[in-house]
Structure 1
Amino acid sequence: MSQWLMLFQKEILEMWRNFKWIWVPITFILLGVSEPLTSYYMKDILDSFGGLPEGAVIDIPTPTAGAVLASGLSQYSTLGVLIIVLSTMGIIAGERKSGVAAMILVKPVSYLSYVTSKWAGSLLLVWFSLFIGYLSTWYYTGQLFDWVPFGEFFQSYILYGLWLTVVLTVTVFFSASLIAPGMAGFISLAIALVVSIISGALSHLLEWSPSQLTGYASALLTVGELPDDTFPASLVGIFIIAILLWLSVFIFKKKELAS
């Protein structure tokens, strides 16, 4: 355990040196505050463009607080996923390519500790960034529209965090399997996009898909209750995370021993 904690602390420190603890949370905060501000000032924004026929009236219904919060949360399943992949695609592949991984593994360091400590460090960054970003969305939504119950906020945060954890684990898996960080990032983004599109198109057949958790979180905010398939989708997500982590360690060890 002491070895794992040492590697974990190294990963946290490395992310400080790369300024990830600064730019990733700030980016999530900017994503978080953009939606409630845009929704509140949309009429003024449209009026500022002008060009409307004389006498034309812009009538935009005021969205509910839940709808604004759900719309803000959806930012993290698009731009948020992109940020996560870009910030973690070289987490293992980059060190393999530079030779740092070989130097660390020469010491009595287990492959399991090496991979999981990196995954855990990135996981902490993702969940922290999502929390403060989503908290800013919740705060500005409450100030400009109405307050969504904190319980619904927290449940939707957990569901979105679980989906982003699946995306993170997919990225770590390909980073451990490939030596090119760019290729690992491209494949991870492609898989996340394809799974989201297929799950959305076949939502009546793939209710258990982890990507559906984003829709279930939005349903909680807009309708006020979780769909029945939320728990099975969460279990599938946890199962996928565990399997991909195990495969990451297995494939990484096999490739390192072969080289």
Structure 2
Amino acid sequence: MSQWLTLLQKELLEMWRNFKWIWVPITFILIGVKNPISSYYLPQIIDSLGDLPEGAVIKIPKPTAAEVLIQSLGEYATLGVLVIVLSTMGIIAAERKSGVAAIVLVKPVSFLSYVTAKWAGGALLLWISFFIGYLATWYYTGLLFEWVPINEFFQSYFYYAIWFTLILTVTVFFSSLLRTAGIAGFISLAVIIVVTIVSSSLSQWLEWSPAQLSAYANQFLLDKGVSDQLLPTSLLAAACILILLGVSIMIFRKKELAA
């Protein structure tokens, strides 16, 4: 256990040296506060543009607080996913290519500890950054519109975090499979986009798809109740995370021993 904690500490320190603990949370905050502020000041923004016919009146219905949160979560599901992949795609591939992985593994370090420590470091960065960003979204939404109950905030955060953790795990998987971080990131994004589109298009047949977690969390925010599919979908997502981690360790071990 002490070996694993040492590797985790090394990964967290490396993220600090690469400024990930600065730019990733800041990016999530900017993504989070953009929508509440722009939604609130949208009438003034349109009015300031001018060039409207004389006497024209534009009435924009004021969105509910839940709708503002959902729109912001939609931003996280697009731009946030890109940030997750970009910050994670080289987590193993970069060290394999530079030879750092081989140096670390010369010591009595298990492949299990190496991969899981890197995954845990990335997950901590993701969870904390997303929490800070989403908390800023919730705060500005309450300040400008109305306050969403804190329990709904935490539950929606939790289910989105599961989906984002699966995305991170997919990226770790391809990072352990490939030596080039850019290719690993590109393939990860392609897989995530395909899974999301297919799950959305065939939602009636793919109710347990992990990509549906965001939709179920949105339903919860809109007071439509907790979907019966939410628990099995979450469990399936957790199972996929564990399976992908296990396969990542086996692939990484095979490739490093063959090198």
Per the normalisation by structure 2, the TM-score is 0.99
Aligned to 1:242: 242
- For residues 109 and 181 of structure 1, the distance between their equivalents in structure 2, rounded to whole angstroms, comes to 23
DSSP-derived class of the 2:222 partner: helix
- For residues 224 and 41 of structure 2, the distance between their equivalents in structure 1, rounded to whole angstroms, comes to 26
Please show how residues 54-65 of structure 1 align to structure 2 within 5 Å.
54-65=54-65
Offset of 1:9 from its aligned partner? 0.2
The answer to whether the aligner puts 1:201 opposite 2:201 as a matched pair is yes
Report the AA paired with residue 40 of structure 1.
Y
Percent of aligned pairs with the same amino acid: 65
The answer to whether the aligner puts 1:253 opposite 2:253 as a matched pair is yes
Aligned to 2:153: 153
Offset of 1:55 from its aligned partner? 1.4
Aligned to 2:174: 174
Aligned to 1:45: 45
- For residues 228 and 53 of structure 2, the distance between their equivalents in structure 1, rounded to whole angstroms, comes to 48
- Equivalenced residue count is 259
DSSP-derived class of the 1:225 partner: coil
Offset of 1:51 from its aligned partner? 2.0
The answer to whether the aligner puts 1:78 opposite 2:40 as a matched pair is no
Report the AA paired with residue 232 of structure 1.
P
Aligned to 1:29: 29
User: Higher mean Cα deviation, 168-177 or 227-236?
Assistant: 227-236
Aligned to 2:184: 184
- For residues 206 and 192 of structure 2, the distance between their equivalents in structure 1, rounded to whole angstroms, comes to 15
DSSP-derived class of the 2:109 partner: coil
User: Higher mean Cα deviation, 13-22 or 212-221?
Assistant: 212-221
Structure 1 stretches of 4+ with a deviation exceeding 6 A read: none
Offset of 1:224 from its aligned partner? 4.8
- For residues 100 and 48 of structure 1, the distance between their equivalents in structure 2, rounded to whole angstroms, comes to 55
Output the aligned Cα RMSD. 0.7
Offset of 1:92 from its aligned partner? 0.2
Q: Which runs of 5+ in 1 are unaligned?
A: none
User: Higher mean Cα deviation, 6-15 or 193-202?
Assistant: 193-202
Please show how residues 107-186 of structure 1 align to structure 2 within 5 Å.
107-186=107-186
Offset of 1:26 from its aligned partner? 0.4
Q: For residues 231-254 of structure 1, what are the alpha-carbon distances to aligned partners after superposition, in whole Å with 9 as ceiling and x for unaligned?
A: 111011001000000000000000
Q: For residues 38-86 of structure 1, what are the alpha-carbon distances to aligned partners after superposition, in whole Å with 9 as ceiling and x for unaligned?
A: 1100111111222222211111001111111111111111000000000
Per the normalisation by structure 1, the TM-score is 0.99
Report the AA paired with residue 210 of structure 2.
P
DSSP-derived class of the 2:205 partner: coil
Q: For residues 151-200 of structure 1, what are the alpha-carbon distances to aligned partners after superposition, in whole Å with 9 as ceiling and x for unaligned?
A: 00000000000000000000000000000101100000011111111111
